[in-house]
Amino acid sequence: MAMSENAKKLRGSSWAENVRTIAYALLIALFIRAFLFQPFFIPSSSMESTLLIGDYLFVAKYSYGYSKHSLPFSPPLFSGRIFDDEPERGDIVVFKQPIDNHTDFIKRVIGLPGDTVQMKDGVLYLNDKAVPRVRVDDFIYRDPTGNVRRIPQYRETLPNGVSYITLDMIRDSVWDNTGVYIVPQGHYFMMGDNRDNSSDSRVPDAVGYVPFENLIGKAEVIFFSANGTASFWEVWKWPWAVRWDRIGKWVE
């Protein structure tokens, strides 16, 4: 009888220990996601060729401090940011879409508070000065049927020296010429590197100016990438689907 009672106590103790271990693991995972790193999946082509559909990357949550959007479901615990540090031109940032404060977007910071931004004949102008760009090798795009398309690429260099590649998919597109945008204080102007295929700050009813509070973090490193023929969990398909050369690549 005593042996049976001891066995029950041992089983109960083991079950309680397992529950505590799982609870600790969940709390640690929540802490890491809320304050250190959050995984993010690239679902669209708006940041090509810098980021491709199927890239998985880590976003550094501490880069710009913390707001309510740093936590899952954006609980209204406080307003503004704490431990804030402003982004720089050229940073690739994940943020909450200002229209609904719910959807995660990823774009590049182009305009800072007080800047003027405009596109003229496909050239980016910051504070009435053309941002230098140089033609580089074409981006090779392959559609799901195997057809190949060559898309012109340009290396653009911002006033602070940050340099990156942009795509020019459509000659004389609607976004090649815009009005002048004046970035309000406390806001940022975001653009996709795929200039003709990006809903960004040029589109007021899609994104518009992004409040500082809406920034979630800075994109840092790609930890997984697949070409669309396999999901993250389909390990048996990895040899043919994974873009091995992109894993561990820093986002610039």
3-state secondary structure at position 32: helix
Q: Report the pLDDT value the prediction gives residue 1, as an integer from 0 to 100.
A: 46
Which is nearest to 123 in space by CA: 159, 166, 181? Answer: 166
Closest C-alpha among 233, 189, 185 to residue 210: 189
Beta sheet of 55-60, edge-to-edge order: 37-41, 55-60, 215-225, 92-96, 104-111, 187-191, 210-211
Q: How far apart are the C-alpha atoms of 187 and 185, rounded to whole Å?
A: 5
Q: Can you tell me which residue has the tokens 């182009």?
A: 110
Interval 160-200: pLDDT, tens: 999 999 999 888 888 899 999 999 999 999 999 999 999 99
pLDDT in tens, 147-158: 888 999 999 999
Residue 115 maps to a domain: yes
Same domain, 171 and 209: yes
Examine residue 106 and state whether it is found in any structural domain, yes or no: yes
Residue tagged active-site, from 46, 49, 67, 201:
46
Predicted local confidence at residue 130, as pLDDT: 98
Residues 43 and 127 in one domain: yes
- Identity of the amino acid at 218: K
Is the same domain home to 15 and 100? Answer: no
What local confidence, expressed as pLDDT, does residue 239 receive? Answer: 85
Number of domains in the chain: 2
d(CA 141, CA 168): 13
Domain assignment of residue 73, yes or no? yes
pLDDT of residue 117: 98
Instruction: For residue 225, give the CATH number of its domain.
Output: 2.10.109.10
90 in any annotated domain: yes
The model's pTM = 0.86
Residue 252 in any domain: the answer is: no
Q: Is residue 192 part of a domain?
A: yes
Question: Do residue 78 and residue 4 come from a single domain?
Answer: no
C-alpha 31/C-alpha 25 separation (Å) is 10
- Do residues 29 and 139 both lie within one domain? no
Cβ of 221: how many Cβ atoms within 10 Å?
Answer: 14
121 plus 31 within the same structural domain: no
Residues 133 and 22 in one domain: no
In the residue annotation, 46 being an active-site residue is answered as yes
Per annotation, catalytic residue among 61, 68, 96, 107: 107
Look at residue 230 in the predicted model and tell me its pLDDT: 76
How many whole angstroms separate alpha carbon 176 and alpha carbon 171? 8
Where the chain has pLDDT below 70, the residues are 1-20, 24, 28-35, 143-145
Residues 14 and 127 in one domain: no
In a shared domain, residues 115 and 148:
yes
pLDDT of res. 31: 63
Task: Please report whether residue 67 resides in a domain.
Answer: yes
Provide φ and ψ at 133, rounded to 5°.
Answer: -145, 145
Question: Does 68 participate in catalysis according to the annotation?
Answer: no
pLDDT at 189: 98
Q: Which domain holds residue 98?
A: 36-246
53 plus 14 within the same structural domain: no
Residues 133 and 217 occupy one common structural domain: yes
Helix, strand, coil percentages for the chain (3-state, nearest 5): 20, 35, 45
End-to-end CA distance of the chain: 68
- Co-location of 113 and 156 in the same domain: yes
In a domain, 251, yes or no: no
Predicted confidence at residue 247, as pLDDT, reads 94
Structure tokens at 241: 């689907």
What is the rounded (10 degree) CA torsion for 238, 241, 242, 245?
A: 140
